[in-house]
Amino acid sequence: MQSHTEVKRILEAALLSSQEPLSLADLKRVFEGQVEADVLKGALEELGKDWEGKAVELAQVASGWRFQTRPDFLPFIERLDPEASPRYSRAVMETLAIIAYRQPVTRGDIEGIRGVAVSAQIIQALESRGWVDVVGHRETPGRPELLATTKSFLDDLGLRSLEELPPLEEIARTVDLPQAGAGQPAATTQPAANEPHVEPSTEPAAEAAK
């Protein structure tokens, strides 16, 4: 049986070596189930404190725990590979924001809110990124697909749950998302072909893109 210090060191090694967040179940497998969940949680909490004040932090996201660069340093890291992060149009970001805050929604719901048609390419872009998935069908004629955001979406934004999303008003100001009262469609927004693109990041602008 490992000591508490060894448990922390093993957790640190496992998390630093993983490219994806590790869930509690994943971490228990590291110890072949010999370390209880509450012990692991306590060790993770202490490990997080050990890394406080450094450029890298231990964060809990929807899929589990991971080490990540602190947001303050991301602009510098991105200069190493400026093409690494895909860039999305305002139409894509608006669609993502609607799905995030109104989910589950159909393509027709999104079109009703935006006031313009939603192309298949927009939905495909979000599905390919792993941010949106089909979670069911609405029991209406045609049984349209219901769209919702994924854990990967929350992971990419550094969030643990949808409850941590910023207020919709903040997102609307950031990406010019038309707002509407309850049951009232938003004003029409038709993105131009040469409109500026919005790049997802850990900043509030990307959080609109749930």
Residues 48 and 110 in one domain: no
Domain CATH number, residue 195? 1.10.10.10
Which one of 54, 78, 102 terminates a domain?
78
Per residue of the chain (210 residues), give pLDDT as tens. Answer: 788 999 999 999 999 999 999 999 999 999 998 999 999 999 999 999 999 999 999 999 999 999 999 989 988 988 887 766 667 788 898 899 999 999 999 999 999 998 999 999 999 999 999 999 999 999 999 999 999 999 999 998 889 999 998 887 766 555 444 433 323 223 333 333 323 233 333 333 333 333
- Nearest one of 116, 75, 74, 79 to 95, comparing CA atoms: 116
* 141: Cα separation from own chain's centroid: 32
Q: What is the model's pTM?
A: 0.68
Q: Which residue has the tokens 């404190």?
A: 49
Number of domains the chain contains: 2
Exposure string of 134-154, with b = 16+ CB inside 10 Å and e = fewer, is eeeeeeeeeeebbbbbbbbbb
Instruction: Return the structure tokens found at 187.
Output: 């004003």
